[in-house]
Structure 1
Amino acid sequence: MHSKKTYTLQEATKKLEHYCAYQERCHKEVRQKLETMYMIPEAIDTIVVHLLKHNFLNEARFAKTFVSGKFRIKRWGRRRLTLELKKKDISKVNINQALNTIDKEEYIEVFNALAEKKAHTITETNVFKKRKKLIDYLLYRGWEPALVYDKANALIK
């Protein structure tokens, strides 16, 4: 018989401070973590308020960090970034602020480099299938359809 570990309010608060200090977190992740620790709703609210008050938890900061990381490392486009942030219950205002931190020229440079690199790695001989594979890949990554179709038509003739 497994007995679940219980935490006092102080222990849980300390644990969550470390959890948030290690990496930026959103409210949803923090609440899920507390629920897996079997904390009651009143305790969860108390801890979240404490984390907000002491700046361990900040959704605007989380959104900016998330966008910056996923854009630079995973090469995601604005649509995918928006979708993933919405899944984490981030407000529209914070999403838009975070997306505005991406430099327009850098965005296009990253998109072009990604599209060209992928186009060279597709071994398909049929032009239409090759173009479709490139388009599917870029759309999945969250790049805007107008950009994707223009680039695919320019690269694969």
Structure 2
Amino acid sequence: MKKLDEQEMLHRMAAYCSSAERCEQEVRQKLEKTELEQEAVTRIISRLKQEKFIDESRFARAFVNDKFRFNRWGKYKIRCELQRKGISEEVIDQALALLEAEAYNQVLMELLKAKMKSVKAKDDRERYYKLLRFAAGRGFQPAEAALCLKRLIKDSAHEEFDME
């Protein structure tokens, strides 16, 4: 494989960033696999930032939106993944603040409702804690999950009573 020069790598990384939102860490990892010098890598990244191919806040907003809407992750799991990608706390907080509380609680409620049907437990207490662990694994805070579970349990008790 021929060694690519800095200008060619800049064009390739611009195309890479154009195909999807990328954070600086992803681009840096890709560039460090090449045989470019560290100064060249730094220059390429700064040029990509300057020309808005890399924008950490735009990346964080897109990441939060996608992981919440499609993967149905909670704020905690999203925050951890963004931290792993080297995004600053301030940018993470701004991106997470864009999530609507009503939609967030609705997604949590839907997840718990669906999971409640498949959870096998010997009693209500065990079912409650299994669902709480499930929600925590999805990145939702235990306090939020507990509130939703209490509402779900109360609603299901009313439904059973109405059916009789």
**Aligned residue identity for 2:126:** K
Normalised to the residue count of structure 1, the TM-score between the two structures is: 0.90
Contact 1:5–1:37 at 8 Å: present in 2 too?
A: no
- 1:73 and 1:111 map into 2 onto residues whose CA distance is 13
Q: Aligned-residue CA RMSD in angstroms?
A: 1.7
For 1:139, the equivalent position in structure 2 comes to 136
Does structure 2 retain, via aligned residues, the 8 Å contact 1:25–1:62? yes
Superimposed CA distance per residue, residues 98-148 of structure 1 (whole angstroms, 9 cap, x where no aligned partner): 011111111111111111111112133443332222111110111011011
Tell me which structure has the larger Cα radius of gyration: 2
2:47 to 42, 46, 50: 50
Amino acid at match of 2:134: Y
Whole-Å Cα distance in 1 between the matches of residues 109 and 33 of structure 2?
42
Q: Distance in 2 between matches of 1:154 and 1:97?
A: 29
> 1:119, 1:96 → 2: CA distance?
31
Number of residue equivalences: 154
Q: Which residue is equivalent to 1:118? A: 115
Contact persistence 2:108–2:148 (CA under 8 A): no
Residues 9 and 43 of structure 1 are in contact (CA less than 8 Å); yes or no, is this contact kept in structure 2?
yes
Among 70, 74, 77, which residue is 1:73 paired with? 70
**2:119/2:127 contact within 8 Å kept:** yes
Gaps of 5+ in 1: none
Runs in 1 of length 4+ with deviation above 4 angstroms? none
Is 1:119–1:155's contact at 8 Å kept on the other side of the alignment? no
Per the TM alignment, residue 149 of structure 1 is displaced from its structure 2 partner at its CA by: 2.1
In structure 1, what is the Cα distance between the partners aligned to 2:103 and 2:140? 14
Tell me the TM-score normalised to structure 2 length. Answer: 0.87
- Which residues of structure 2 form unaligned runs of 5+? 158-164
- Mark the CA change 1:20 to 1:124 in structure 2 (over 3 Å): closer, same or farther: same
Is structure 2 residue 27 aligned with structure 1 residue 64? no
Q: Deviations over 1:37-96 (max 9, x none)?
A: 232110110100110111100000000000000000011111111111111110111101
Report SS of the residue matched to 2:121.
Answer: coil
